[in-house]
Structure 1
Amino acid sequence: MLDDYLRRQDGVITLAQARRSGLSHSAVVRRVRSGHWRRCGPGVYFADDRPFSTAARIRSAVWGHGANATASGLTAAWWLGLMAIEPSECEVTVPRNSHGRGAAGVRVRRRDLKDQDIFEDRGLRVTGLALTVLEASARRGGGPKIMDSALQRRVGLADLQRAHIRNQGRYGAGAARRMLQAASGGARSEAERLVIQLLRGARIDGWCANFSVGPYVIDIAFMRQRVAIEIDGWAFHSDQPAFQNDRKRQNWLALQGWQVLRFTWLDITSQPERVLSEIRAAISAR
């Protein structure tokens, strides 16, 4: 039973689990003193005969803050497979009346989570998928791409909106609200406004918005250089007919001598300098 706990839990075990496996408190102490186990927090231990993985680090951080602690933010996003980059620190949400402080490498947030925003995954309490997407999307190191990717295959927009309403006032709620508004259909028009602001701020002129060419309207056109800037919304809104129409439109413009640059709302909001750099390169080369 002890080996089964360690195998399933990335080498991490609690004192209560060790006792259920038949170990006495003194037996646990002996393992720690001998160096076979490492104490990671109050009543939490790691069997030091294996690498201390990211999963082990997260389990230790969450379990070390009590039975009601929950992995949240980027930590929950990594645990649920929403992002591949390992979090630099573990974020743990605990009830408001909890005591204790975060250890090195652990950020503690105090908030009373609702039952529908907590679930157990591989024995660990984690914020629910919808709340995790909202929080991770608003964190530095996360961003709108997490929300867009999750909306494509794992969560519905209505689920995100309900989770947002249940958790108003949380850290990052304002940023998440703006992303939800964009995801609801305003991303493309908002992105066009942002590109126009970028061009004006960089004092780049010679362009026209909503420029008609043949059967199409170019979002932003540099007429002299024949450079077309096309703005997309969120990837999760794309369907097969829209994809085919965009390709048909782009091919027609190319045959008429236009160079087409495509940017998404995510490009413009997360990498505006790259967007400007590519536009400058295109108009200076023609």
Structure 2
Amino acid sequence: MYSTEEPGYFERCVAVTLWKPEAVLSHTSAAWLWDLLPEEPRFVEATVAPSVRAGSPQWVRLHRRTGVSSDEWMGLPIVPIEQCFIDVATTLPRPELEAFFDAAVSTRAPWKSIAELCDASRGRHGIPAVREQLRTCCPLTRSEPERAVARALTARNVHLEINARVGPYFGDLVDTRARVIVEIDGREFHTDPATFNNDRRRQNALVLDGWMVLRYSAATAMAHLDAVADEIITVVRRRRHNRT
């Protein structure tokens, strides 16, 4: 195949499906096409039958698997969105995989449908990593510091609700049993006078209603993640015990 100008990523995906009509776009390529990845992947990845044998350009990665199911997206064969979660678990480094699950589970694909596919694909490469991520992922976080704190707590087997409703308000991380709310404040969202005053009124109302509000700046949360997580856990466990 020839191109009169440098092809974009989508054009490369098209080229692979023309080169191998039986190929199904998968892994990071399918994840990008399903809008699960924010940036273009380095490679175009596709899955073919085990019998297919062919060299490929350096920018193409072919995976081999029997019984590949496919959907269609803009005329291209592509694995179902749930399959992307299993595929990328075999290729993405752990930090990127954690961010992928936190961003995509529940917002782009239901947790239950991914878990059901894991059950149907038992024994395949990548399934243990997917199950672990489904158990520990922290979807619906609104910032990287908030996500990092939620992940640190989950890694210590302490699970707080994310962006949960507390009366007329929402808390970043909430433990209803202990009546503890954790707020991760980014400077850009809390410095204007109206927001600053609203934060104080909101916190006073919550404290008067029996809630403890722990506030950390985003910078502190990222720089001292372990210490922040340990302090939250200490407070939550003490409050749970005292309320019991």
Distance 1:243 1:257, change over 3 A: closer
Contact 1:96/1:112, CA 8 A, preserved across alignment: yes
Give the TM-score normalised by structure 2. 0.59
1:180 to 134, 151, 154: 134
Aligned pair count reads: 187
Amino acid in the other structure paired with 1:93: T
Q: 2-side partners of 1:274 and 1:59: how far apart?
A: 46
2:16 maps to: 61
1:127 to 79, 103, 107: 79
Q: 2-side partners of 1:242 and 1:138: how far apart?
A: 42
Q: Per-residue deviation at 1:94?
A: 0.6
2:103 maps to: 149
Which residues in structure 2 correspond to 1:16-31 (within 5 Å)?
none
* Greater RCO (Cα-Cα under 8 Å, separation 6 or more): 2
Distance 1:194 1:148, change over 3 A: closer
1:94 maps to: 48
2:235 maps to: none
Amino acid in the other structure paired with 1:90: V
Contact 1:73/1:91, CA 8 A, preserved across alignment: yes
Contact 1:133/1:150, CA 8 A, preserved across alignment: no
Contact 1:131/1:164, CA 8 A, preserved across alignment: no
Contact 2:82/2:117, CA 8 A, preserved across alignment: yes
Which residues in structure 2 correspond to 1:1-286 (within 5 Å)?
39=1, 46-48=2-4, 50-64=5-19, 66-115=20-69, 118-136=70-88, 139-140=91-92, 142-182=96-136, 191-192=152-153, 194-195=155-156, 232=160, 238-241=163-166, 244=169, 246=171, 249-250=181-182, 251=203, 260-261=215-216, 275-276=225-226
Q: 2-side partners of 1:98 and 1:55: how far apart?
A: 23
Distance 1:189 1:54, change over 3 A: closer
When the two chains are superposed, the root-mean-square deviation of aligned CA atoms in Å is: 4.1
Contact 2:25/2:78, CA 8 A, preserved across alignment: yes
Q: Per-residue deviation at 1:84?
A: 1.7
Distance 1:246 1:73, change over 3 A: same
Contact 2:27/2:84, CA 8 A, preserved across alignment: yes
Amino acid in the other structure paired with 2:155: L
Distance 1:114 1:278, change over 3 A: same
Contact 2:86/2:130, CA 8 A, preserved across alignment: yes
Distance 1:144 1:190, change over 3 A: closer
Q: Per-residue deviation at 1:47?
A: 3.8
Gaps of 5+ in 2: 140-148, 173-179, 183-202, 231-244
Q: Per-residue deviation at 1:242?
A: 8.3
Q: 1-side partners of 2:168 and 2:78: how far apart?
A: 36
Contact 2:24/2:68, CA 8 A, preserved across alignment: no
Q: 1-side partners of 2:132 and 2:49: how far apart?
A: 27
Determine helix, strand or coil for the equivalent of 1:84: coil
Q: Per-residue deviation at 1:120?
A: 1.1
Q: Per-residue deviation at 1:170?
A: 3.5
Q: 2-side partners of 1:78 and 1:243: how far apart?
A: 37
Q: 2-side partners of 1:135 and 1:103: how far apart?
A: 21
Q: 1-side partners of 2:151 and 2:6: how far apart?
A: 47
Determine helix, strand or coil for the equivalent of 1:152: coil
Gaps of 5+ in 1: 1-38, 40-45, 197-218, 220-230, 281-286
- Structure number, greater radius of gyration: 1
Contact 1:254/1:260, CA 8 A, preserved across alignment: no
